Structure 1
Amino acid sequence: MPADVNVPVLIGAVPLLTVTSLTLNEGYQVARIAGSKLAQLVSPTARTISVEAVLVGRTRLIIKKGLEAMALTSRALAPATAPLMNLTGLPVVCGMTISLDMQITSLRFTQSNQKRDALDVSISLEQVPRSTLTAVLGEALDVALAAGIAAVPSVSGMVPARRQLGGLL
Protein backbone atom coordinates (compact mmCIF):
# COMPACT_ATOMS: atom_id res chain seq x y z
CA MET A 1 0.00 0.00 0.00
CA PRO A 2 1.50 3.39 -0.91
CA ALA A 3 2.62 5.56 2.00
CA ASP A 4 0.40 8.47 0.92
CA VAL A 5 -2.85 6.45 1.12
CA ASN A 6 -4.94 7.43 4.12
CA VAL A 7 -6.79 4.41 5.50
CA PRO A 8 -9.75 5.55 7.59
CA VAL A 9 -10.70 4.28 11.01
CA LEU A 10 -14.29 3.06 10.92
CA ILE A 11 -16.47 3.39 13.99
CA GLY A 12 -19.68 1.70 13.00
CA ALA A 13 -20.59 3.33 9.70
CA VAL A 14 -18.66 6.56 10.40
CA PRO A 15 -15.24 6.90 8.72
CA LEU A 16 -12.62 9.02 10.49
CA LEU A 17 -10.15 10.14 7.83
CA THR A 18 -7.74 12.19 9.96
CA VAL A 19 -6.90 10.15 13.05
CA THR A 20 -3.99 11.56 15.04
CA SER A 21 -3.75 8.72 17.56
CA LEU A 22 -5.44 5.47 18.50
CA THR A 23 -4.81 3.67 21.78
CA LEU A 24 -5.90 0.09 22.48
CA ASN A 25 -5.95 -0.98 26.15
CA GLU A 26 -6.49 -4.61 27.13
CA GLY A 27 -6.91 -5.80 30.71
CA TYR A 28 -6.71 -9.32 32.08
CA GLN A 29 -8.17 -10.90 35.20
CA VAL A 30 -5.68 -12.63 37.47
CA ALA A 31 -6.88 -15.34 39.87
CA ARG A 32 -4.92 -16.74 42.79
CA ILE A 33 -4.75 -20.51 43.03
CA ALA A 34 -6.10 -21.54 46.44
CA GLY A 35 -3.44 -22.48 48.97
CA SER A 36 -0.61 -21.44 46.64
CA LYS A 37 1.51 -18.45 45.78
CA LEU A 38 0.76 -19.08 42.11
CA ALA A 39 -1.66 -17.08 40.03
CA GLN A 40 -2.96 -17.46 36.52
CA LEU A 41 -4.64 -15.27 33.93
CA VAL A 42 -8.28 -16.31 33.88
CA SER A 43 -9.75 -14.23 31.07
CA PRO A 44 -9.57 -10.89 29.35
CA THR A 45 -11.63 -8.41 31.36
CA ALA A 46 -11.56 -5.14 29.48
CA ARG A 47 -10.78 -3.79 26.05
CA THR A 48 -10.98 -0.07 25.52
CA ILE A 49 -10.08 2.05 22.53
CA SER A 50 -9.32 5.78 22.61
CA VAL A 51 -9.30 7.70 19.34
CA GLU A 52 -8.10 11.25 18.75
CA ALA A 53 -9.04 12.67 15.35
CA VAL A 54 -9.66 15.88 13.48
CA LEU A 55 -12.90 16.39 11.57
CA VAL A 56 -12.14 18.65 8.62
CA GLY A 57 -13.97 20.08 5.65
CA ARG A 58 -17.61 20.81 4.96
CA THR A 59 -18.74 17.39 6.21
CA ARG A 60 -17.25 17.80 9.72
CA LEU A 61 -20.63 18.50 11.34
CA ILE A 62 -22.25 15.58 9.52
CA ILE A 63 -19.52 13.26 10.84
CA LYS A 64 -20.01 14.78 14.31
CA LYS A 65 -23.73 13.99 14.15
CA GLY A 66 -22.93 10.46 12.91
CA LEU A 67 -20.68 9.86 15.91
CA GLU A 68 -23.32 11.24 18.27
CA ALA A 69 -25.92 8.93 16.71
CA MET A 70 -23.58 5.94 17.10
CA ALA A 71 -23.01 6.83 20.75
CA LEU A 72 -26.72 7.19 21.42
CA THR A 73 -27.51 3.99 19.54
CA SER A 74 -24.81 2.01 21.29
CA ARG A 75 -25.92 3.14 24.75
CA ALA A 76 -29.64 3.57 24.90
CA LEU A 77 -31.55 2.84 21.73
CA ALA A 78 -30.07 -0.43 20.47
CA PRO A 79 -33.25 -2.52 20.55
CA ALA A 80 -35.41 0.20 18.99
CA THR A 81 -33.09 1.47 16.25
CA ALA A 82 -31.52 -1.63 14.76
CA PRO A 83 -32.38 -5.26 15.46
CA LEU A 84 -28.79 -6.30 14.73
CA MET A 85 -27.55 -4.07 17.55
CA ASN A 86 -29.13 -6.59 19.94
CA LEU A 87 -26.65 -9.14 18.62
CA THR A 88 -23.55 -7.01 18.22
CA GLY A 89 -22.26 -3.60 19.20
CA LEU A 90 -20.35 -1.10 17.10
CA PRO A 91 -17.49 -2.52 15.06
CA VAL A 92 -14.22 -0.58 15.11
CA VAL A 93 -11.98 -1.29 12.14
CA CYS A 94 -8.50 0.19 11.91
CA GLY A 95 -4.95 -0.79 11.06
CA MET A 96 -4.32 -2.11 14.58
CA THR A 97 -7.45 -4.10 15.36
CA ILE A 98 -10.90 -5.19 14.35
CA SER A 99 -13.03 -5.03 17.47
CA LEU A 100 -16.69 -5.93 17.52
CA ASP A 101 -19.16 -5.23 20.30
CA MET A 102 -17.76 -1.80 21.15
CA GLN A 103 -19.81 0.97 22.74
CA ILE A 104 -18.98 4.66 22.73
CA THR A 105 -18.62 5.75 26.35
CA SER A 106 -17.37 9.29 25.78
CA LEU A 107 -17.26 11.90 23.01
CA ARG A 108 -15.46 15.25 23.31
CA PHE A 109 -15.50 17.84 20.53
CA THR A 110 -13.20 20.88 20.59
CA GLN A 111 -13.10 23.87 18.25
CA SER A 112 -10.40 26.52 18.54
CA ASN A 113 -9.51 29.86 16.96
CA GLN A 114 -6.49 28.22 15.32
CA LYS A 115 -8.68 25.64 13.56
CA ARG A 116 -12.01 27.30 12.85
CA ASP A 117 -12.81 24.95 9.96
CA ALA A 118 -12.03 21.80 11.94
CA LEU A 119 -13.17 19.98 15.05
CA ASP A 120 -10.90 17.95 17.29
CA VAL A 121 -12.68 14.85 18.55
CA SER A 122 -11.77 12.49 21.35
CA ILE A 123 -13.66 9.19 21.44
CA SER A 124 -13.59 6.52 24.14
CA LEU A 125 -15.03 3.08 23.44
CA GLU A 126 -15.39 0.00 25.62
CA GLN A 127 -15.98 -3.57 24.53
CA VAL A 128 -19.22 -5.05 25.82
CA PRO A 129 -19.51 -8.57 24.37
CA ARG A 130 -23.09 -9.54 23.66
CA SER A 131 -22.51 -13.19 22.77
CA THR A 132 -19.78 -15.80 22.58
CA LEU A 133 -20.25 -15.99 18.82
CA THR A 134 -19.47 -12.31 18.24
CA ALA A 135 -16.54 -12.48 20.68
CA VAL A 136 -15.03 -15.43 18.76
CA LEU A 137 -15.77 -13.79 15.41
CA GLY A 138 -14.12 -10.55 16.57
CA GLU A 139 -10.99 -12.39 17.68
CA ALA A 140 -10.87 -14.34 14.39
CA LEU A 141 -11.11 -11.10 12.40
CA ASP A 142 -8.39 -9.56 14.58
CA VAL A 143 -6.07 -12.54 13.89
CA ALA A 144 -6.83 -12.32 10.16
CA LEU A 145 -5.94 -8.61 10.21
CA ALA A 146 -2.64 -9.35 11.97
CA ALA A 147 -1.77 -12.05 9.45
CA GLY A 148 -2.71 -9.81 6.54
CA ILE A 149 -0.65 -6.88 7.85
CA ALA A 150 2.35 -9.18 8.38
CA ALA A 151 2.17 -10.22 4.72
CA VAL A 152 2.11 -6.66 3.34
CA PRO A 153 5.40 -4.78 2.92
CA SER A 154 5.59 -1.84 5.30
CA VAL A 155 6.77 1.62 4.39
CA SER A 156 7.82 3.30 7.60
CA GLY A 157 9.66 6.53 8.27
CA MET A 158 11.08 4.96 11.41
CA VAL A 159 14.76 4.07 11.62
CA PRO A 160 15.26 0.31 11.22
CA ALA A 161 16.22 -1.48 14.44
CA ARG A 162 19.43 -2.67 12.73
CA ARG A 163 20.63 0.95 12.39
CA GLN A 164 19.42 1.91 15.88
CA LEU A 165 21.49 -0.81 17.50
CA GLY A 166 24.60 -0.14 15.44
CA GLY A 167 24.42 -3.34 13.41
CA LEU A 168 24.24 -5.65 16.46
CA LEU A 169 21.25 -7.47 14.97
Structure 2
Amino acid sequence: MSPNLPVLVGVVPLFHVQSMTMSQGYRIERIMGSRWSQATQPTVKTIAIEAILIGPDRLLVKKALEAMALTSRALVAAAAPLLAVSGIPVVSGMTISLDMQITDLRITHSTTKREALDVSISLQHVPRSNLSALVGEAADLALAVATAAATAAPPPSPVPRSPGPPL
Protein backbone atom coordinates (compact mmCIF):
# COMPACT_ATOMS: atom_id res chain seq x y z
CA MET A 1 0.00 0.00 0.00
CA SER A 2 1.43 3.39 -0.96
CA PRO A 3 1.48 6.34 1.42
CA ASN A 4 -1.04 9.15 1.03
CA LEU A 5 1.03 11.72 -0.87
CA PRO A 6 -0.42 15.22 -0.66
CA VAL A 7 -1.05 17.68 -3.44
CA LEU A 8 1.11 20.69 -2.68
CA VAL A 9 -0.34 24.11 -3.40
CA GLY A 10 2.61 26.32 -2.61
CA VAL A 11 3.77 25.06 0.78
CA VAL A 12 0.29 23.89 1.82
CA PRO A 13 -0.18 20.10 1.68
CA LEU A 14 -3.69 18.91 0.82
CA PHE A 15 -3.97 15.30 2.00
CA HIS A 16 -7.62 14.64 1.15
CA VAL A 17 -7.99 15.74 -2.47
CA GLN A 18 -11.23 14.45 -3.96
CA SER A 19 -10.57 15.55 -7.54
CA MET A 20 -8.13 17.56 -9.59
CA THR A 21 -8.82 18.81 -13.10
CA MET A 22 -6.31 20.42 -15.43
CA SER A 23 -7.50 22.25 -18.56
CA GLN A 24 -5.38 23.44 -21.45
CA GLY A 25 -5.72 23.60 -25.18
CA TYR A 26 -5.39 25.91 -28.16
CA ARG A 27 -7.32 28.91 -29.40
CA ILE A 28 -8.82 28.16 -32.81
CA GLU A 29 -9.15 31.03 -35.30
CA ARG A 30 -10.73 31.00 -38.73
CA ILE A 31 -8.28 31.87 -41.51
CA MET A 32 -9.52 35.09 -43.10
CA GLY A 33 -11.29 34.57 -46.42
CA SER A 34 -11.21 30.79 -46.03
CA ARG A 35 -13.34 28.01 -44.61
CA TRP A 36 -10.29 26.62 -42.78
CA SER A 37 -9.41 27.11 -39.12
CA GLN A 38 -6.04 26.99 -37.42
CA ALA A 39 -4.73 26.60 -33.87
CA THR A 40 -3.03 29.93 -33.23
CA GLN A 41 -1.90 29.97 -29.62
CA PRO A 42 -2.20 27.95 -26.41
CA THR A 43 -5.04 28.86 -24.07
CA VAL A 44 -4.38 29.52 -20.42
CA LYS A 45 -3.71 26.43 -18.31
CA THR A 46 -6.08 26.12 -15.35
CA ILE A 47 -6.20 23.68 -12.46
CA ALA A 48 -9.26 23.01 -10.29
CA ILE A 49 -8.84 21.17 -6.98
CA GLU A 50 -11.59 19.84 -4.73
CA ALA A 51 -10.36 18.82 -1.28
CA ILE A 52 -11.50 18.25 2.29
CA LEU A 53 -9.67 19.78 5.24
CA ILE A 54 -9.98 17.63 8.34
CA GLY A 55 -8.23 17.48 11.67
CA PRO A 56 -7.32 20.05 14.28
CA ASP A 57 -5.14 22.05 11.86
CA ARG A 58 -7.89 22.55 9.24
CA LEU A 59 -8.35 26.23 10.14
CA LEU A 60 -4.60 26.87 9.85
CA VAL A 61 -4.58 25.27 6.39
CA LYS A 62 -7.61 27.42 5.47
CA LYS A 63 -5.73 30.57 6.55
CA ALA A 64 -2.64 29.53 4.57
CA LEU A 65 -4.78 29.04 1.44
CA GLU A 66 -6.45 32.42 2.01
CA ALA A 67 -3.01 34.04 2.32
CA MET A 68 -1.93 32.53 -1.00
CA ALA A 69 -5.20 33.67 -2.58
CA LEU A 70 -4.37 37.18 -1.35
CA THR A 71 -7.79 37.77 0.11
CA SER A 72 -6.86 41.07 1.77
CA ARG A 73 -5.28 44.28 0.50
CA ALA A 74 -2.53 44.01 3.11
CA LEU A 75 -1.56 40.56 1.83
CA VAL A 76 -1.47 41.80 -1.77
CA ALA A 77 0.83 44.66 -0.82
CA ALA A 78 3.13 42.39 1.19
CA ALA A 79 3.30 39.68 -1.47
CA ALA A 80 3.61 41.91 -4.55
CA PRO A 81 7.44 41.79 -4.69
CA LEU A 82 7.44 37.98 -4.43
CA LEU A 83 4.71 37.54 -7.06
CA ALA A 84 6.83 39.45 -9.58
CA VAL A 85 9.45 36.69 -9.30
CA SER A 86 7.43 33.53 -8.73
CA GLY A 87 3.88 32.29 -8.66
CA ILE A 88 2.43 29.41 -6.66
CA PRO A 89 3.79 25.96 -7.55
CA VAL A 90 1.32 23.07 -7.70
CA VAL A 91 2.93 19.66 -7.26
CA SER A 92 0.95 16.43 -7.53
CA GLY A 93 1.16 12.99 -9.07
CA MET A 94 -0.46 14.46 -12.20
CA THR A 95 1.54 17.65 -12.77
CA ILE A 96 4.23 20.00 -11.63
CA SER A 97 2.97 23.44 -12.56
CA LEU A 98 4.92 26.54 -11.62
CA ASP A 99 3.73 30.14 -11.70
CA MET A 100 0.10 29.44 -10.83
CA GLN A 101 -2.17 32.00 -9.17
CA ILE A 102 -5.34 31.30 -7.20
CA THR A 103 -8.27 32.87 -9.05
CA ASP A 104 -11.07 31.43 -6.92
CA LEU A 105 -11.10 29.97 -3.42
CA ARG A 106 -14.36 28.61 -2.04
CA ILE A 107 -14.60 27.14 1.47
CA THR A 108 -17.76 25.41 2.64
CA HIS A 109 -18.69 24.32 6.15
CA SER A 110 -21.87 22.31 6.57
CA THR A 111 -23.79 20.57 9.30
CA THR A 112 -23.23 17.21 7.63
CA LYS A 113 -19.45 17.62 8.07
CA ARG A 114 -19.05 19.53 11.32
CA GLU A 115 -15.38 18.66 11.73
CA ALA A 116 -14.37 19.28 8.13
CA LEU A 117 -14.17 22.03 5.54
CA ASP A 118 -14.79 21.48 1.83
CA VAL A 119 -12.36 23.50 -0.28
CA SER A 120 -12.57 24.33 -3.97
CA ILE A 121 -9.52 26.03 -5.50
CA SER A 122 -9.19 27.35 -9.05
CA LEU A 123 -5.72 28.30 -10.26
CA GLN A 124 -4.53 29.88 -13.48
CA HIS A 125 -1.07 29.77 -15.04
CA VAL A 126 0.49 33.24 -15.00
CA PRO A 127 4.03 32.84 -16.36
CA ARG A 128 6.50 35.35 -14.95
CA SER A 129 9.20 34.76 -17.57
CA ASN A 130 10.07 32.45 -20.44
CA LEU A 131 12.71 30.81 -18.24
CA SER A 132 10.24 29.93 -15.49
CA ALA A 133 7.79 28.60 -18.11
CA LEU A 134 10.54 26.36 -19.55
CA VAL A 135 11.60 25.15 -16.09
CA GLY A 136 7.97 24.32 -15.27
CA GLU A 137 7.50 22.38 -18.51
CA ALA A 138 10.79 20.52 -17.95
CA ALA A 139 9.73 19.56 -14.40
CA ASP A 140 6.35 18.37 -15.68
CA LEU A 141 8.04 16.30 -18.40
CA ALA A 142 10.46 14.80 -15.85
CA LEU A 143 7.49 13.79 -13.67
CA ALA A 144 5.82 12.09 -16.63
CA VAL A 145 8.97 10.17 -17.60
CA ALA A 146 9.73 9.13 -14.00
CA THR A 147 6.15 7.99 -13.43
CA ALA A 148 6.14 5.93 -16.63
CA ALA A 149 9.47 4.32 -15.73
CA ALA A 150 8.62 3.59 -12.10
CA THR A 151 5.00 2.49 -12.38
CA ALA A 152 4.14 -1.10 -13.11
CA ALA A 153 0.70 -2.48 -13.79
CA PRO A 154 -1.16 -3.30 -10.58
CA PRO A 155 -1.30 -6.98 -9.68
CA PRO A 156 -4.52 -8.77 -10.55
CA SER A 157 -7.12 -9.07 -7.86
CA PRO A 158 -6.88 -12.37 -5.95
CA VAL A 159 -10.67 -12.53 -5.73
CA PRO A 160 -12.19 -13.97 -8.92
CA ARG A 161 -15.09 -12.06 -10.41
CA SER A 162 -18.36 -13.78 -11.01
CA PRO A 163 -21.60 -12.46 -12.40
CA GLY A 164 -24.10 -11.42 -9.77
CA PRO A 165 -27.78 -12.18 -9.72
CA PRO A 166 -29.82 -10.52 -12.46
CA LEU A 167 -31.52 -7.31 -11.47
- Normalising to structure 1: TM-score of the pair? 0.81
TM-superposed CA distance for 1:77, in Å, is 4.8
Where 1:46 maps in the other structure, the secondary structure is coil
Q: Share of identical aligned residues, percent? A: 56
TM-superposed CA distance for 1:115, in Å, is 1.6
Out of 119, 122, 126, which is 2:120 matched to? Answer: 122
Structure 2: distance between partners of 1:76 and 1:131: 25
Unaligned 5+ runs, structure 2: 158-167
Q: Tell me what 2:138 maps to.
A: 140
Q: Tell me what 2:165 maps to.
A: none
Bigger shift: residues 14-23 or 38-47: 38-47
Structure 1: distance between partners of 2:61 and 2:137: 28
Out of 35, 47, 64, which is 1:66 matched to? Answer: 64
Q: Tell me what 1:150 maps to.
A: 148
Q: Tell me what 2:7 maps to.
A: 9
TM-superposed CA distance for 1:157, in Å, is 9.1
Bigger shift: residues 44-53 or 149-158: 149-158
Contact residue 99 and residue 126 of structure 2 kept, 8 A: yes
Bigger shift: residues 5-14 or 32-41: 32-41
Unaligned 5+ runs, structure 1: 160-169
Contact residue 79 and residue 85 of structure 1 kept, 8 A: no
Size of the aligned set, in residue pairs, is 156
Q: Tell me what 1:107 maps to.
A: 105
TM-superposed CA distance for 1:122, in Å, is 0.7
TM-superposed CA distance for 1:66, in Å, is 0.2
TM-superposed CA distance for 1:38, in Å, is 2.8
Contact residue 106 and residue 125 of structure 1 kept, 8 A: yes
Q: What letter is aligned with 1:43?
A: Q
The ranges of structure 1 where at least 4 consecutive aligned residues each deviate by more than 4 angstroms after the TM superposition are: 75-79, 154-159
Where 1:111 maps in the other structure, the secondary structure is strand
- Normalising to structure 2: TM-score of the pair? 0.82
Is 1:33 aligned with 2:31?
A: yes
TM-superposed CA distance for 1:158, in Å, is 9.8
Structure 1: distance between partners of 2:8 and 2:107: 18
Q: What letter is aligned with 2:55?
A: G
Contact residue 18 and residue 51 of structure 2 kept, 8 A: yes
Where 2:104 maps in the other structure, the secondary structure is strand
Where 2:112 maps in the other structure, the secondary structure is coil
Calculate the aligned-residue CA RMSD, in Å: 2.5
Contact residue 67 and residue 75 of structure 2 kept, 8 A: no
> Which structure: larger Rg?
2
TM-superposed CA distance for 1:89, in Å, is 0.9
